[in-house]
Amino acid sequence: MNAYIAVPLAASVVAILVAFALVQWILRQDQGNEAMQKVARAIFQGAQAFLRRQYFTIGLLAIVGAIVVGLLLAILSGSAQSLGGITPFGIAWRTSVAFLIGAGCSALSGLIGMNVAVRSNSRVANAASRGLGQALLVGLRGGAVTGFLVIALSLLGVTLVYVIYSAIGPQSIDNTPVLIVGFGFGASFVALFAQLGGGIYTKAADVGADLVGKVEKDMPEDDPRNPAVIADLVGDNVGDCAGRGADLFESTAAENIGAMILGASVYETLGRNNVGWIIFPLVVVGLGIIASLIGLFAVRGTGLREPGADSKRDAGAIAMGRLNVGYYVTAAFAVLGMVGASYLLLGDKWYYFAAAGVVGILNSVAFVYITQYYTSGKWRPVREIAEASKTGPATNIIAGLAVGFENTALPVLAICASLGLAYFIGTLAGIERPGTGIISTGGIYATAAATMGMLMSAAYILAMDSFGPITDNAGGIVEMSNAPEEVRVVTDALDSVGNTTKALTKGYGIGSAALAAFLLFSAYLDVLQKNFKGAGTAYSVNLANPPVFIAALIGAMLIFLFSSLAIRAVGRAAQGMIEEVRRQIKANPKILTGEVDPDYAACVDISTRSALRQMVIPGVMVVVTPILIGLILGPEAAAGFLMVGTIAGILMALVMNNGGGAWDNAKKYIEAGFLKDENGVPLKKGTEAHKAGVVGDTVGDPFKDTAGPSLHVVIKLLSTVTLVLAPLFIFFHPQ
Amino acid sequence: MNAYIAVPLAASVVAILVAFALVQWILRQDQGNEAMQKVARAIFQGAQAFLRRQYFTIGLLAIVGAIVVGLLLAILSGSAQSLGGITPFGIAWRTSVAFLIGAGCSALSGLIGMNVAVRSNSRVANAASRGLGQALLVGLRGGAVTGFLVIALSLLGVTLVYVIYSAIGPQSIDNTPVLIVGFGFGASFVALFAQLGGGIYTKAADVGADLVGKVEKDMPEDDPRNPAVIADLVGDNVGDCAGRGADLFESTAAENIGAMILGASVYETLGRNNVGWIIFPLVVVGLGIIASLIGLFAVRGTGLREPGADSKRDAGAIAMGRLNVGYYVTAAFAVLGMVGASYLLLGDKWYYFAAAGVVGILNSVAFVYITQYYTSGKWRPVREIAEASKTGPATNIIAGLAVGFENTALPVLAICASLGLAYFIGTLAGIERPGTGIISTGGIYATAAATMGMLMSAAYILAMDSFGPITDNAGGIVEMSNAPEEVRVVTDALDSVGNTTKALTKGYGIGSAALAAFLLFSAYLDVLQKNFKGAGTAYSVNLANPPVFIAALIGAMLIFLFSSLAIRAVGRAAQGMIEEVRRQIKANPKILTGEVDPDYAACVDISTRSALRQMVIPGVMVVVTPILIGLILGPEAAAGFLMVGTIAGILMALVMNNGGGAWDNAKKYIEAGFLKDENGVPLKKGTEAHKAGVVGDTVGDPFKDTAGPSLHVVIKLLSTVTLVLAPLFIFFHPQ
């Protein structure tokens, strides 16, 4: 073992300590008046109830998953000679244990983060009365608890499992990374259900609340008379906070493990004398956490100009500027960390890989800009959708779908450029697996470095993301507790900033998922190569081979089918919600006059039950299909399935995320009065154009918050499943 | 040359003669009263004006294309040794000439078919007053002119070019098919612009007419007071008739050529003594035309029960039943033809390939059923969308998109099953290219046989398709000429049948495009294999190679971007149309009272100009991108691009076609009174649910009639472009 393994261990422990210090700091903040606390309590209880039931279901599924995978590997995988004498049973228990640890850590970080988020919201609402700066700080630090816990626990888990499995042997160091893939599989297993269930929950509530509240009854957002309002506020937490947390937990874990597998290849190729190649990813992510911590504390809450009632937009821009400072500080220190880690660990050609890592960091910046272009009201795409709203909902939808499909182009080109450039730089380092010809080990490792570079800012990005639901909730609490106008200005401004940061995180998530996926199936191929009988030639995934082509076609189809199920789940759950809200309002007219509180719990219950019921089938389908493909059609077909499924997944996730985001902001653009009729009169709320905008926003909801983010997870899950079960596929289909 | 080459020549000449006889028969029919003729004349003039300008633009583009491709091949492709001593210049001129002949034949068949269709419509309208049977017969035979001309000209063109190029040499017979790929490229080039331009035209007019007419002014369909009504009726012809004709012209040509290339491989592998392997596809398609002719004349117009005013649905079902008889007769004779052709041409293992061909015929039947399931009001998908309309346009759209994404599953499984089964059957025949290992030549040839089997009924299917716009137009003419109610019942019934047949043709089109694409890139790989220096090993398309993966990602992205441009083109053009219609109605209130005719020509002009302007960029993009990929990243990357682009194209086309069709029929389901509120009262026209249904229908319009059908063509175009330019890619990137 290399002494630098202390870096990820120390970094994650520091991050966890900081997270707990932040919790103490937040709990010391004033939690607001009784009215605020009452709303916050309702949100807290709703979130608790859902998460308890959700993680119970996920836990059951995970235990079944761990047992099935373990049994399959133990009984059927034969002897995996390439792992240095370890028995099938040895592979099996290590995989299952890693799976359960991964699943457990993921669930733990999600639960703690959520608990803090739902405690931060009323404190942000209260801090808002003391000014923008205070509220910004409380919101960001509340989000940072999730952000740092998630990334630190993920890193700590992978590092510890790696250290322990290395220590107990009997396999050699370079065969250890493959044994901890189970950790990534467990994490993605939990992430899939957490993101999908959370996504269904949040959008069923949101769509239901909006369609009756805003469209039929002309209520404002977060009106306490709306029976679905608490469910909506709970949804922000379980979808954006817990769901995205699990997503990035899993990204970090899977990318670390995939990169370590590729590192093991380089280690072996270069004569097994520098473990640095294997632990480089862990060190880089550790330094990324430190960079993110510096970025976090670079965000200051003082010296902000306080906004007047007429300058929400300015206030938002100022607050966003402060958050951006933190991001750029993080990126700058990430570059330093990447260069340092490469220099210390990667031998005399380190600078090639440092350069590739910087390409990854630049890719993350590119994704942030591209996402803003497609989802902000400042540029053509959102304006085009708003303009199309003038001729009604149909043209709004057509324009939105056109933007959604179009927005695949720039991100794909960015991914291709990053991958191509990193690969090219890596080939210059001249590290070749002897005799295999086609694939340059150095080139592939450089793409891994780029992926790690992109991932370095994950903790900060995730803090900004969790900032979103906290400020969104704070806005709701302020609205429902009848706080004065100047407080609303602050929370409205932060809420709009939160929307931007949520969109950015999704862009970041898909960009890193795309790189991660390439890395993971490179790792899968590496495993196949090692077990390939045709020594001296490269293992190839030949799309011209009919079974491979058929598997590829099914892989892409699975993505479409999954998207369909996710969208439909929201549609159905929302219809149930709409009927309940209508029923309550009809049954008791005093709800509308505000004399009687509606039955919030009934709506929370509908969301909870629909989400739990409808997350199982699509989730299980995504886990089982790659296994069937691998068993029936073989490991090469599984690779084709994986790659083409991944490509389709990247594209659909982009369509869903940014299309949905553009619809959302087109509506906001109209509400802000920027869309004008031929006489220059703004077409605000109440006009037909605005109603068309609301339709588009509603359609975009399941796109951007259910199907899209779940697809990030699906992409990586496909890779981890195939990677874990590769020995099985090879056993049944020996080359 | 083999004597059986006479079969395709004779069959296509017979079909052309029959088509002209049908023209005479149609022109002898009474063309209706003066009011009907006036409307028909307006449609005729609008269609003429558009097609003249459209084909002028396409002609210019085609000439430029032919010259550029010829020059590229002549100057840069080096010596293509594998074609038996033919010079680069020799390849170049043969390709360019074939390109121009293919483009010319495609344009010719489109123009003649259109001319007949716009002459048939008023005759169907008039025949409707003599009963359902007469109208059905005139409509189908009008459509048959397009159907048989298109397929016959395509077959005749390919056969003649093949015979002539074989005769002039110097290359051997088995190298000839590659030289006529230019014909397929020319045909797909024309088809792309014909389908895309026609699709934009028709939907700009349709969406514009509906959104102002139906939604804002409460007019019925085809109301003469609507300024966009003539443009809408013209659109049916240029989109469905000319566009789909060019699509299937190109399918037939490209599939014939691709199958011949694969046949040449088998011919060579088995010792060059049976040309039957090469001409089998031509003979099969020739026999398919004969089968389709028998099917056509099996449809009788007599003995039909005449519908009363309250039984439109019954009348439609009866008429559809008659058309189905023709289809089943065609399919039965196709099986006979397939078995016969295999027996006569494919040596002693003929029965394997006959069986694979029957798999293809069964696949076409499966597609017909699956398409009906997803787009007919009788089953769950359409009803689900209709139900979702109760809660407004947003849930209607969400449900429609869910259905659209979901409906990729069954067709993909059908394609996978057909391909897999045909391939498996073919491998049993035991024809292996010596030493190449992976790819079974017999298996691949069997997939070609399946493709040809699917294509045998193309002429009949296309006749049913062109029946659609003719009866749609007839309905419009009846409506606008104030014909009596009993006539309307007949035309309404036929119109709804036409909608079904149009949907079926699109399903058939995508199914055959998917098979064709697999066949074409098998042909492309065959060309690469022949030029592959690594003799004795199979040429493979390795997705794990980063440039191949990058190309694949770009291939899928291109499909999304193209869809975006196609949808957006309709949205923009429709907005222009909406503004013009509103302007006319506002400028002259007498239009609404019916005292003054609106300015139809102004709307026709808007559709024409938008379509021509907006078809060029997406079209050129699709042609140029594969060329750039091949030149920059090499032939293997081009293959990856092609395959993954094809997979994405198949899926998106399914989403677009059937999603759009489902939305359309959900609206019709509501209009027919099948959707009921909680008290059992039908939610018909005028209700909010119906308005939501109209929004969905409008969104579906550019899906199903612009982007979807254009994607069929794109899929095949990508293959023909790469196939034509393969020598160039190989020259720049020798293995």
Residue B120 near residue B138 (C-beta atoms within 8 A)? yes
* Residues of B with Cβ-Cβ distance to A525 under 8 angstroms: 544
- The full DSSP string for B558-597 is HHHHHHHHHHHHHHHHHHHHHHHHHHHHHH-THHHHTSS-
pLDDT band, residue B439 (cuts 50/70/90): low
A 209-248 residues inside an 8 A Cβ radius of B: 211, 215
Q: For the segment B285-329, what is each residue's pLDDT rounded down to a tens digit?
A: 999 999 999 999 888 877 666 655 445 556 777 888 888 889 999
* Residues of A with Cβ-Cβ distance to B567 under 8 angstroms: 398, 401-402, 405
Residue A521 confidence (pLDDT):
81
Q: For the segment B361-404, what is each residue's pLDDT rounded down to a tens digit?
A: 888 888 888 888 888 878 899 999 999 998 889 999 999 999 99
Alpha-carbon distance A82 to A175, whole Å? 8
* Residues of A with Cβ-Cβ distance to B543 under 8 angstroms: 541, 543, 639-640, 643-644
Residue A126 near residue A210 (C-beta atoms within 8 A)? no
B 54-113 residues inside an 8 A Cβ radius of A: none
* Residues of A with Cβ-Cβ distance to B662 under 8 angstroms: none
Stretch B397-415: mean pLDDT: 93
Give how far Cα A477 sits from Cα of A121, A595, B79, B493, Å.
8, 19, 76, 58
Residue A494 near residue A474 (C-beta atoms within 8 A)? yes
pTM for this one?
0.92
Q: Is B655 at the interface with chain A, CB within 8 A?
A: yes
B 544-583 residues inside an 8 A Cβ radius of A: 544-547, 549-550, 552-554, 556-557, 560-561, 563-565, 567-568, 570-571, 574-575, 578
What sections of A346-434 are H helices per DSSP? 350-375, 380-388, 393-406, 409-428
Q: For the segment A618-671, what is each residue's pLDDT rounded down to a tens digit?
A: 988 999 999 999 989 888 899 899 999 999 999 999 999 989 989 988 998 898
pLDDT band, residue A494 (cuts 50/70/90): confident
| Chain-chain contact of A439 with B655 (C-beta, under 8 angstroms) | no
* Residues of B with Cβ-Cβ distance to A405 under 8 angstroms: 560-561, 563-564, 567
Query: What contacts A55, CB < 8 A, 6 or more positions away?
Result: A107, A110, A111
Nearest residue, CB atoms, B560 vs list A395, A639, A655: A655
Q: For the segment A290-306, what is each residue's pLDDT rounded down to a tens digit?
A: 999 999 998 887 766 66
Residue A212 near residue A581 (C-beta atoms within 8 A)? yes
B 347-366 residues inside an 8 A Cβ radius of A: none
Q: Does residue A309 carry a pLDDT above 50?
A: no
ipTM of the complex: 0.91
* Residues of A with Cβ-Cβ distance to B412 under 8 angstroms: 553-554, 557
Alpha-carbon distance A402 to A413, whole Å? 18
A 429-488 residues inside an 8 A Cβ radius of B: 438-439, 443-444, 447
Q: For the segment B190-211, what is each residue's pLDDT rounded down to a tens digit?
A: 888 888 888 898 888 888 888 8
Q: What 8-state DSSP symbol labels residue B305?
A: P
A 499-518 residues inside an 8 A Cβ radius of B: 518
Query: What contacts B514, CB < 8 A, 6 or more positions away?
Result: B411, B415, B646, B650, B715
Residue A469 confidence (pLDDT):
84
| Chain-chain contact of B393 with A393 (C-beta, under 8 angstroms) | yes
* Residues of A with Cβ-Cβ distance to B655 under 8 angstroms: 560
pLDDT higher at A308 or B696 = B696
For residue A408, give the chain B residue with the closest CA. Answer: B557
Q: For the segment A89-121, what is each residue's pLDDT rounded down to a tens digit?
A: 788 888 888 999 999 988 887 787 778 888 888
What sections of B634-707 are H helices per DSSP? 635-671, 688-702
pLDDT higher at B15 or B347 = B15
Which residues lie across from B676 on neighbouring strands?
Answer: B682
Residue B437 confidence (pLDDT):
47
| Chain-chain contact of A388 with B571 (C-beta, under 8 angstroms) | yes
Q: Is A9 at the interface with chain B, CB within 8 A?
A: no
- The Cα of B100 is separated from the nearest Cα of chain A by a number of Å equal to 31
For residue B701, give the chain A residue with the closest CA. Answer: A398
Size of interface A-B (CB pairs under 8 A): 243
Residue A461 C-alpha from the chain's centroid: 10
- The Cα of B725 is separated from the nearest Cα of chain A by a number of Å equal to 19
Alpha-carbon distance B408 to A105, whole Å? 37
Residue B80 confidence (pLDDT):
52
- Taking residue B593's Cβ as centre, other Cβ atoms within 10 Å add up to 9
For residue B568, give the chain A residue with the closest CA. Answer: A402
Alpha-carbon distance A387 to B441, whole Å? 55
Nearest residue, CB atoms, A640 vs list B415, B543, B570: B543
| Chain-chain contact of B546 with A404 (C-beta, under 8 angstroms) | no
| Chain-chain contact of A391 with B565 (C-beta, under 8 angstroms) | no
Residue A382 near residue A666 (C-beta atoms within 8 A)? yes
Q: Does residue B141 carry a pLDDT above 70?
A: yes
- Amino acid at residue number A544: A
